[in-house]
């Protein structure tokens, strides 16, 4: 399950950017063609965040649909797998969305001084 090591890296990156402050929320973007299972990331997040500034943080995941662009006619087509065929008949499709894994937002506890 590669999601465990991916989640460990996400927690480490967010913790580094939080500079010791408590993280309230993390928003990830995960492409539907990325071979990363959002439910597995959710499961691993609670485990990996224990004892860190992310412990108790809310994890939100936005799933990005697969999208390709035909090299022949330039049409954009929805994809449910990393290959496909355009209505023009071409199978030369460039993936333009759906393989993402991004830490999109981090919400950190405010400090009142």
Binding-site entries for Ni(2+): 2
The edge-to-edge listing of strands for the beta sheet with 101-108 is 58-64, 23-31, 101-108
Binding residues: 2, 70, 73, 86, 88
Known binding residues for Zn(2+) are 70, 73, 86, 88
Q: Where are the alpha helices (DSSP H) in 19-73?
A: 38-48
Sheet strand arrangement including 93-97 = 76-79, 66-70, 93-97
3-state helix, strand, coil in the chain (%, to 5): 25, 35, 40
């Amino acid at each position: 399950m590669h999601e465990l090591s991916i989640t460990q890296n996400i927690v480490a990156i967010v913790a580094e950017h939080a500079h010791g402050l408590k993280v309230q929320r993390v928003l990830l973007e995960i492409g539907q063609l990325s071979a990363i299972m959002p439910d597995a990331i959710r499961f691993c997040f609670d485990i990996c965040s224990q004892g860190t500034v992310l412990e108790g943080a809310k994890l939100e995941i936005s799933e990005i649909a697969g999208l390709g662009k035909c090299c022949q006619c330039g049409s954009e087509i929805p994809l449910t797998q990393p290959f496909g065929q355009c209505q023009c008949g071409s199978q030369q499709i460039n993936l333009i969305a759906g393989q993402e894994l991004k830490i999109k937002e981090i919400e950190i506890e405010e400090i009142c001084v």
